[in-house]
């Protein structure tokens, strides 16, 4: 289980983020404990109010728990991991909020603790919490028998395509996949040993090597976004300079943007726009299917919750009716029947709780499986359109000497290219 944590403030912003139903297909508030309020946002604002009596600015400890996408993880497994996180970081007994999210067929958990000890009005220290969570995550992979990511087995083999929030937002502005964009730069780095070969490899992927204002070497996208080479490749700035030489020999970012404007003639712009239009056109039916699926799943969970609540009330009334009152109730107490009835009621209530949990679990797992099948089509079609755009970028490099006609042939060839899941439906919006 991959555990990602941070110390932070911003109670209201975090609470609203945890409850966003527009970015998550299902949001389930699992627990709010140690707070007066039963609302996520108000509970976190309580932590903020308590923190005002201290000097602590990062009064919240936020952790996301991400199991492997293909695994079915019980709530009990998440709760066990949360208890171990608390114990490892000295947060046992601290107020906390637990929220489950489901998105694109993947279920994960967010937990937020208040760091403020109300008795001493001091913040709980969290020394080396990243190392502790890394070790705990490795233990969870081994205990559950999950396939462990390379980065857990050897930190030097961590997935180099992992990206930060800022990188993800930057890629989103361009309408691209952040992981694919970073992987493309890393591929260029792997096959290049000089500045010239690296620049040529980037050009084949629609990127331009340039001199950054403060970051040495950068790559400029056709959309005008600037990507630091050292950050994208995971290399130190010194290592990048040793391989690529003096960045002063390269054009500036502004000069590169002007060069891109000259290179991307109206013909080429037309092909890119046509590719995007094609992607969105093929996306519409599958987007509609996704929305209908989510609506149907939400309705099914709501109906199940309503049925369980109604059934629970009736069963509680039946159990309460067994406890006789007045003289008969006094007699039951004298002969021990009252205690036996209480024990029976407690056993039945616990059995009903387990039954309801099993029903919710069955519905959730069935829906996750159905959502993942749809996601497979989405990924296949995303890959198809990514290959088309990459092919156009490669052709742009030779546009001047080959003319526009070969580019049209490339577009037609890739846009008509079938994929393994092509017959099953179009794609989700890139």
**Would you say the C-alpha torsion 171, 176, 182, 185 has a positive or negative sign?**
negative
CA 341 to chain centre: 48
- Count the alpha carbons within 13 Å of 133 in the hemisphere toward its beta carbon: 22
Report, as an integer, the average pLDDT of 66-79: 88
Sorted by where each begins, the domain ranges of the chain are 2-157, 165-263, 267-424
Q: What are phi and psi of 252, to 5 degrees?
A: -70, 175
Do the Cβ atoms of 273 and 232 come closer than 8 Å?
Answer: no
Instruction: Give the pLDDT confidence of 185-199 residue by residue, as tens digits.
Output: 888 888 888 888 888
Q: Give φ, ψ of 86 to 5 degrees.
A: -60, -45
Burial class (CB in 10 A: 0-12, 13-18, 19+), 129: buried
Would the pTM of this model clear 0.75, i.e. be above it? no
57 CB-contact burial (10 Å; exposed 0-12 / middle 13-18 / buried 19+): exposed
Q: Using CA atoms, how far apart are residues 34 and 44, in angstroms rounded to an integer?
A: 11
Does domain 2-157 fall into CATH 3.30.930? yes
Pull the structure tokens for residue 408.
């049209």
pLDDT-derived band at 313 (thresholds 50, 70, 90) equals: very high
Tens digit of each residue's pLDDT (9 = 90 or more) over 197-238: 888 888 877 788 998 876 688 988 877 788 888 888 888 888
Phi-psi group of 93: left, alpha or beta (phi > 0 → left; psi -120 to 50 → alpha; rest → beta): left
* Structure tokens belonging to residue 218: 């950068």
pLDDT over 50 (residue 25): yes
Among 127-136, 145-154, 201-210, top mean pLDDT goes to 127-136
Band of residue 90 on the pLDDT scale cut at 50, 70, 90 = very high
Question: Residues with Cβ < 8 Å from 56, sequence gap 6 or more?
Answer: 115, 116, 122, 123
């Amino acid at each position: 289980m991959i555990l990602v944590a941070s110390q932070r403030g911003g109670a209201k912003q975090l609470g609203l983020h945890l409850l966003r139903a527009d970015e998550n297909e299902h949001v389930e508030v699992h627990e709010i404990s140690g707070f007066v309020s039963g609302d996520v946002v108000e509970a976190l604002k309580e932590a903020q109010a308590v923190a005002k009596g201290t000097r602590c600015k990062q009064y919240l400890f936020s952790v996301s728990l991400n199991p492997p996408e293909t695994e079915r993880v019980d709530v009990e497994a998440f709760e066990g991991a949360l208890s171990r996180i608390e114990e490892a970081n000295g947060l046992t007994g601290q107020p906390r909020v637990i929220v489950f999210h489901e998105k694109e067929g993947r279920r994960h958990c967010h937990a937020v603790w208040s760091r403020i000890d109300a008795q001493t009005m001091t913040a709980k220290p969290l020394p080396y919490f990243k190392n502790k969570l890394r070790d705990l995550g490795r233990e969870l992979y081994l205990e559950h028998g999950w396939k462990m990511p390379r980065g857990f087995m050897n930190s030097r083999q961590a997935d180099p395509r992992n990206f930060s929030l800022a990188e993800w937002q930057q890629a989103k502005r361009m309408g691209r996949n952040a992981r694919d964009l970073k992987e493309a730069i890393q591929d260029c780095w792997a096959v290049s040993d000089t500045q010239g070969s690296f620049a040529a490899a980037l050009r084949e992927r629609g990127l331009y090597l340039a001199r950054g204002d403060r970051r040495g070497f950068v790559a400029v996208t056709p959309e005008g976004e600037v990507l630091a080479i050292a950050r994208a490749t995971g290399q130190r700035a010194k290592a990048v300079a040793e391989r690529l030489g003096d960045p002063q020999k390269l054009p500036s970012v502004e000069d590169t943007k002007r060069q891109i404007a000259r290179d991307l003639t109206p013909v080429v712009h037309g092909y890119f726009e046509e590719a995007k239009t094609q992607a969105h056109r093929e996306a519409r039916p599958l987007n509609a299917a996704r929305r209908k699926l989510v609506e149907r799943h939400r309705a099914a969970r709501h109906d199940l919750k309503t049925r369980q609540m109604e059934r629970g009330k009736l069963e509680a009334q039946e159990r309460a009716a067994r406890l006789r009152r007045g003289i008969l109730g006094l007699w039951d107490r004298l002969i021990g029947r009252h205690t036996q009835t209480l024990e029976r009621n407690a056993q039945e209530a616990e059995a009903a709780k387990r039954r309801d949990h099993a029903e919710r679990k069955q519905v959730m797992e069935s829906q996750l499986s159905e959502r993942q099948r749809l996601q497979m089509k989405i990924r296949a079609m995303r890959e198809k359109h990514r290959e088309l755009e990459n092919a156009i970028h490669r052709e742009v490099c030779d546009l001047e000497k080959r003319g526009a006609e070969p580019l049209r042939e490339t577009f037609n060839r890739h846009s008509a290219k079938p994929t393994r899941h092509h017959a099953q439906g179009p794609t989700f919006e890139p």
